[in-house]
Amino acid sequence: MGIPSTTRDEWASRSNSPLIASPAEDQNILGLRDCPKEGVRAGAKAAAIAAVVSAVPTVILIPRIPWAKASLNYTAKALIVSTASIAAYFITADKTILECARCNSRYRASLIDKSD
């Protein structure tokens, strides 16, 4: 078993391609690698803010509202806070990654327009 010799030879010959990537393409690849990092960073900030913003009213108001005091235990309080944090993280990270990708595509389009 293993990789057939014809497939192996074809894959090996791809690395010896006479085509050379342009510097703009290399820069675009580097820019695309930074998009997820920016998304994670922005999402973590948003999740931290959402945790504080949702935890303070949850902890303060639940003991003061009779229905909430009787119905919501510690697990429910934790779910309220974590749901807000998780939602803020994913929404913000997604928006940041899409914005970064859109910016990179505009940059690529402007490079193409300049070369014409």
What pLDDT is recorded for position 102?
Answer: 84
- In the block, which residue shows the tokens 């945790």? 51
What pLDDT is recorded for position 81?
Answer: 93
Average pLDDT in the 13-41 region?
Answer: 72
Please count the other Cβ atoms lying within 10 Å of the Cβ belonging to residue 50.
21
Using a cut of 0.85, tell me whether the model's pTM lies above it.
Answer: no
Q: Which of 34, 64, 38, 52 is nearest to 88 (CA)?
A: 52
Dist. CA 12–CA 10, nearest whole Å: 5
Is residue 88 within 8 Å of residue 47, measured between CB atoms? yes
Residue 40 has pLDDT above 90, yes or no: yes
**Lowest pLDDT segment from 11-15, 54-58, 62-66:** 11-15
Dist. CA 14–CA 43, nearest whole Å: 38
Dist. CA 70–CA 102, nearest whole Å: 49
